[in-house]
Amino acid sequence: MPQFPVVDGELTVGGIPLTRLAARIGRTPFYAYDRAVIAARMSELRSALPPSVRLHYAVKANPMPALVCALAQQVDGLDVASAGELKLALDAGMASADISFAGPGKTAAELEQAVASGVLVNLESAREIDLLAEASNRCGQAARVALRLNPDYELKSSGMKMGGGAKPFGVDAEQAPAMLRRIGEAGLAFEGFHVFAGSQNLDGEAIAQSQRLGFELVLRLAAHAPTPVRSVNLGGGFGIPYFPGEQRLDLGPIRDTLGALQEHSARALPGAHLVLELGRYLVGEAGLYVCRILDRKESRGTLFLVADGGLHHHLAASGNFGQVLRKNYPVAIGNRMIPEPLAKATVVGPLCTPLDLLAADLPLGHGQPGDLVVVFQSGAYGASASPQGFLGHPPALEVLV
Ligand SMILES: *Cc1c(COP(=O)(O)O)cnc(C)c1O
C-alpha cells in the first residue's frame, strides 16, 4: 500500500516505523489513522471535482473525535445520524449551518436538539414534520429541513443499496409532493433535497448515472417545493478497493456529470448548491488495524497465527459486517515486510468462535509471536462498527498520526 511506505523491511505510518508507533501507543491492538493520507485524499478530490461542489464527511464512517476535528477543517460540512454524532460535529467546531442530520427513527429529543442547534434535518417521514413543527415552536426558530428521497431507481453495483424499491430511508419519490405541501403548511424552513442511493460503489459510470437520475428527480419535485431549493445533496457512495481484483473508482465520469449538473442547476435552480456526502472514501484507506501475534500453531496442515485482536474490533475484516461471501482484506506482517512471502497462514483472533478470522490462507506464514499483523483499508467502519464488548477483551485504542 503506497500510503504506508516500507523502510528497512518495516511498514511506516506517517513516517513512523510500525514497531516504534506500537511502543509509543503502549499496547496492541490499535487503529492508526494517517492525517496526511486523509489530507491528500481531500485535495485529490477537490482538484478532480468541480470546485463549486460541496464535500461533506459522513461521521458514521469514523467518529474518532480527533479525526472528525481534523476533517472539520477540510470539508464543507459534516453529516451526522444521531445526537451523539451531532455533539461530535459541533464539538469539532463545524458551523451548525454546515451540519446535516439524517437517519430513520430520530427521536423527539434528537429532533429538538437538531432545531436548537440550527442544523439541517434530512426528513425521513411525516412524523418528523409534526415533531419538528412542535420543536420549532418551543425553540422559537423554524427547523431547517431537506426532504430525503427514496428514489424510484437503484444504484447499480453498490455494496449496500439504500435507495430504490421498498426502503426505510427517506420517503418514496411518489409521496414527496404531499410531504412538501405538509412541510410548507407546518412552517418549516425548507432548503432542499437529499438523495442517497447506496454505498461502496467502485463503478464511476454507475455513480454518475445515479447522480443524473437523482438530479432529474429533484428538478421534477422542485415544482412542488414550498420555497426555492437551496441545497441538493446527491449522496455519495464512492467506494474503495478492499479485495483482490477490485479496481479503484474512476472519478472521470463523476467529474463530467457534476460539471454538467452544476451548469444545469445554475439555470434551473439558481442559488442552489450541490453537495456530496462521503464517508469511507475520505478515511478508509488512511487507516490500519494492528494487532500482535500471540501464538503460532499447526492443525492438520494449516498454520494458525493467533493474534490479540480480531472480530470484536474489526467486524468488517472478519467478514461479518454485511458480506455474503467472506473475502480477505489486505493483511501483512507489518514489522517483517518481505518481498515475496510464500508460506501461507490463517490469522485468527482470541475469541472462542470460528467467526473470529482476520485472514484466511494468505502468505503470512513468516509471522512469529510478537510480530504485528496489519489489516489495511481499515479507516472506516472499524472500531465503532464492531462489537467491542463481545467476550470481554479490552477495546482497541485509536490514534491519529
Ligand atoms: C452511511 C452513509 C454515508 C456514508 O457512506 P460511505 O459508504 O461511508 O461513503 C453517507 N450518507 C448517508 C446518508 C449514509 O447513511
Q: At 313, which CATH number?
A: 2.40.37.10
> Per the domain annotation, does 390 fall within a domain?
yes
Q: What is the Å distance from ligand 1's center to 255 Cα?
A: 19
Q: At 271, which CATH number?
A: 3.20.20.10
Same domain? For 203 and 336 the reply is no
Same domain? For 218 and 92 the reply is yes
> Per the domain annotation, does 180 fall within a domain?
yes
> Per the domain annotation, does 37 fall within a domain?
no
Same domain? For 136 and 97 the reply is yes
Residue 215 Cβ inside 6 Å of ligand 1? The answer reads: no
| Boundary-marking domain end, from 218, 247, 278 | 278
Model confidence at 303, in pLDDT bands (50, 70, 90)?
very high
Residue 102 Cβ inside 6 Å of ligand 1? The answer reads: yes
Residue of 198, 216, 217, 215 whose CA lies nearest to 207:
198
Q: What is the Å distance from ligand 1's center to 233 Cα?
A: 12
d(CA 203, CA 251): 9
d(CA 227, CA 212): 23
Q: Which triple of cell numbers denotes residue 150?
A: 427514496
> Per the domain annotation, does 42 fall within a domain?
no
Residue 199 Cβ inside 6 Å of ligand 1? The answer reads: yes
Residue of 329, 172, 355 whose CA lies nearest to 240:
329
Same domain? For 124 and 271 the reply is yes
Which helix (H) or strand (E) segment is 288 a member of? strand 287-299
Cell 464527511 sits on residue: 57
The whole-number average pLDDT for the span 37-50 is: 97
Same domain? For 244 and 348 the reply is no
Same domain? For 13 and 96 the reply is no
Please give, one letter per residue, the 3-state secondary structure of the chain.
CCCCCEECCEEEECCEEHHHHHHHHCCCCEEEECHHHHHHHHHHHHHHCCCCCEEEEEHHHCCCHHHHHHHHCCCCEEEECCHHHHHHHHHCCCCHHHEEECCCCCCHHHHHHHHHHCCEEEECCHHHHHHHHHHHHHHCCCCEEEEEEECCCCCCCEEEECCCCCCCCCEEHHHHHHHHHHHHHCCCEEEEEEECCEEEECCHHHHHHHHHHHHHHHHHHHCCCCCCCCEEECCCCECCCCCCCCCCCCCHHHHHHHHHHHHHHHHHCCCCEEEEEECHHHHHHHEEEEEEEEEEEEECCEEEEEECCCCCCCHHHHCCCCCCCCCCCCEEECCCCCCCCCCCEEEECCCCCCCCEEEEEECCCCCCCCCEEEECCCCCCCHHHCCCCHHHCCCCEEEEC
Q: Mean pLDDT for the chain?
A: 96
pLDDT tens, residue by residue, 333-355: 999 999 998 999 999 999 999 99
pLDDT tens, residue by residue, 122-140: 999 999 999 999 999 999 9
Same domain? For 22 and 74 the reply is no
Q: Please, how many CA atoms are within 13 Å of residue 303, restricted to the half-sphere of its CB? A: 16
* pLDDT for residue 157: 64
The whole-number average pLDDT for the span 63-71 is: 98
* pLDDT for residue 152: 82
Model confidence at 75, in pLDDT bands (50, 70, 90)?
very high
Same domain? For 173 and 76 the reply is yes
> Per the domain annotation, does 52 fall within a domain?
no
Cell 496526511 sits on residue: 36
* pLDDT for residue 141: 96
Backbone angles phi, psi at 251, to 5 degrees: -80, -10
Q: What is the Å distance from ligand 1's center to 196 Cα?
A: 8
Backbone angles phi, psi at 50, to 5 degrees: -55, 135
Q: How many domains does the chain have?
A: 2
Residue 280 Cβ inside 6 Å of ligand 1? The answer reads: yes
Q: What is the Å distance from ligand 1's center to 306 Cα?
A: 33
Query: Quick one: how many helices (H) and strands (E) in the chain?
Result: 11, 22
Same domain? For 233 and 362 the reply is no
Residue 102 near residue 148 (C-beta atoms within 8 A): yes
**In this structure, which residue's CA is closest to atom 15 in ligand 1?**
103
> Per the domain annotation, does 51 fall within a domain?
no
Q: Which triple of cell numbers denotes residue 205?
A: 459510470
Q: Is the pTM of this model over 0.85?
A: yes
Residue 63 Cβ inside 6 Å of ligand 1? The answer reads: no
Same domain? For 304 and 396 the reply is yes
Same domain? For 74 and 153 the reply is yes
| Boundary-marking domain end, from 258, 278, 298 | 278
* pLDDT for residue 151: 87
Residue 78 Cβ inside 6 Å of ligand 1? The answer reads: no
Q: What is the Å distance from ligand 1's center to 256 Cα?
A: 22
The residue to mutate among 38, 124, 196, 254, having the most atoms of ligand 1 within 8 angstroms of its beta carbon, is 196
Model confidence at 252, in pLDDT bands (50, 70, 90)?
very high
pLDDT tens, residue by residue, 164-205: 788 889 899 999 999 999 999 999 999 999 999 889 999 999
> Per the domain annotation, does 1 fall within a domain?
no
**Whether residue 284 has pLDDT greater than 90:** yes
The residue to mutate among 54, 60, 62, having the most atoms of ligand 1 within 8 angstroms of its beta carbon, is 60
Q: What is the Å distance from ligand 1's center to 160 Cα?
A: 10
> Per the domain annotation, does 213 fall within a domain?
yes
Domain with 175 in it: 63-278
| Boundary-marking domain end, from 214, 244, 278 | 278
Same domain? For 105 and 81 the reply is yes
Residue 287 Cβ inside 6 Å of ligand 1? The answer reads: no
